[in-house]
Chains A and B, each alone.
Chain A
């Protein structure tokens, strides 16, 4: 951080100014002139919140993707299929048992098992052949997409959160002032989104702590840098690989349940989330957890702001960000060159 400030003083000032304006926009009561220009504050705040929570969901998907990529150089293009599988599993667990919370561990474990099987039976046999592994993951995603279409049909499934999480909650953010009484109006926001966002923050922080403060994390970080050297020091690298793959796949499964609660589970979502995690990881930097968090936040915000303020080109905005990052910083915002 300090390095960055001393190296790029101009950029630092610009970024700080942008952040300050953003914070002012969130907390202040908007003057009338501003409302005339960019619309009501409620719309803006909703876009901010939706963007941040969507970013949380993207982070859950992309962090597993980036972890697997960083350690094993395996671009797992079947990651979206794992996400979708988690969503379906979550739906059936939640609707048959009635416990929404139960859906998370079950989806995590089952999808992690699928990940372990993939790693043991497929990827271990072609280690070091990046391109071939990627091609295999494309094949797996085609097969899995069709099997899921076969098994679950083309319907939309919606995972409904339990009653204590449904409904809106009052937040501390002012959206406007009542004309008659002068009272402040506060933003109401769905509880479940807030809870899920907090959960993804917790998962993110826990991942960061595990990676940076524990021995396993040390092994993983060493493996990201040089896996041959790590295995030469006697670490059981195959075990680490399997563990990381299982964890990354399990995260995708959890994200599937979250996505099914936020939006819906349906064929085609696998490609959507695969692309989202691709873009997030390209923007954030390959193999970096903080990069995935930053990228997910940026992409989530861009998508929501795009759909509110220029609906026609919402999707294109995210790709524009990607192209800009590629043009000026090919290794991603947080990536190491």
Chain B
């Protein structure tokens, strides 16, 4: 499995001489400008369904990448956390199920939803950190399943099988946020916030300590770090990201039901993170983009080779297997290897030393 690597430190004397915006790598400029002017030429469907959905799934997957890549804990519960946040927005805020929804204003409902999601994530985290490695997957998978069954059978709070529909974003600043362009910018904004926060934390003392815990928990404990506290805090932070993604996901489809956070979607989030690569925060977004493209256009591809369009899962499963088989670090790993290959000195036949 991919272990996140810290990016090579920039050469310090260079960095001091340049102005701050000169220090931003060229790729960031290209990607951000491309994303910002996207609405000028992309269709409404592309903006709303392809990009909006990619950003949302990417955020939920990013929370898994944060736990898996920096903390070494592969948690399948992130989709449930996202689902819970979506449910809480529907319950505290407005929905078509007026018997249950409390109809509180958004500035209470949304923070409350995120807090509940964080508490849930923290509780699951404190259960999961009692075990290690491979057990974490099993336990979080079981918790995700319990969440699915619970929401499906509880009618008093979660409205059972049908869940909530008509969950709309607030009409803030007089903008209808479910229009394609505003929704595109809304999801882009939060995805960018999540991305840069994770990037920042990965280099902040907490993130470095977390990576230390991942690499050698005993040594970190000997150095005086509280290993489990770091892990649980990572779960809490990941729950915040997943919860934000969950609220956006609920707004996107205007509904939330047990199926949104079922076992299939929980595994899809893992698939996305693995396909993209768990070594850097950009991986989940790449994975989500590919996943959404496949999910949206698989029918056309499959029909063109003479299969029925229902075989989407097969395509995803085979792609996932191929990635895990040939490049355990996902597409990012392939990219890194290609870069290595380019840098290889033909005389020495040795790449630059990388760890």
Contact = CB atoms under 8 A, between A and B. Distances in A.
Nearest to B137: A134
A279 B1 contact: no
Interface in A125-145: 129-132, 134-136, 138-140, 142-143, 145
A139 B1 contact: no
A275 B139 CA distance: 10
B115 interface: no
A111 interface: no
A135 B324 contact: yes
B220 to A, nearest CB: 20
B305 interface: no
A145 to B, nearest CB: 7
A140 B134 CA distance: 17
B127 A130 contact: no
A135 B137 CA distance: 10
Contacts of B318: 139, 143
Contacts of A139: 317-318, 320-321, 324
A333 to B, nearest CB: 15
Interface in B305-355: 310-311, 313-314, 316-318, 320-321, 324-325, 328
A278 B32 CA distance: 44
B153 A275 contact: no
Chain A: interface secondary structure?
Answer: helix
Contacts of B310: 150
A189 B10 CA distance: 75
A194 interface: no
Interface in B249-286: 263, 267, 270-271, 274
Contacts of A145: 313
Contact of B142 (A138, A143, A322, A327): A322
Contacts of A138: 267, 270-271, 320
Interface stretch (A158-166, A257-265, A308-316): A308-316
A217 interface: no
Contacts of A136: 321, 324-325
Interface residues of B, number: 38
B146 interface: yes
Interface string A261-290: 000000000010001001101100010000
Contacts of B225: none
A75 interface: yes
Contacts, number: 106
A330 interface: yes
B133 interface: yes
Contacts of A134: 134, 137
Contacts of B141: 77, 275, 278
Interface in A188-245: none
A316 B137 contact: no
B267 A327 contact: no
A145 B321 CA distance: 14
A326 interface: yes
Contacts of B130: 326-327, 330
Contacts of B324: 132, 135-136, 139
Contact of B153 (A130, A143, A146, A313): A313
A326 B127 contact: yes
A117 to B, nearest CB: 14
A335 B321 CA distance: 32
Contact of B314 (A131, A147, A313): A147
A131 B320 CA distance: 14
Contacts of B1: 129, 131-132, 135
A236 to B, nearest CB: 26
A323 interface: yes
Contact of A275 (B133, B142, B271, B316): B142
Central interface residue in A129, A135, A145, by most chain B CB within 10 Å: A135
Given A146-B311, A279-B142, A326-B127, 12 more contacts: A77-B141, A131-B134, A131-B137, A135-B1, A135-B324, A136-B324, A138-B271, A140-B321, A142-B267, A275-B145, A315-B150, A327-B130
11 contacts: A75-B137, A75-B138, A130-B133, A131-B74, A136-B325, A142-B267, A145-B313, A146-B314, A275-B263, A278-B138, A319-B149
Closest 4 CB pairs of A and B: A142-B317, A319-B146, A143-B317, A139-B321
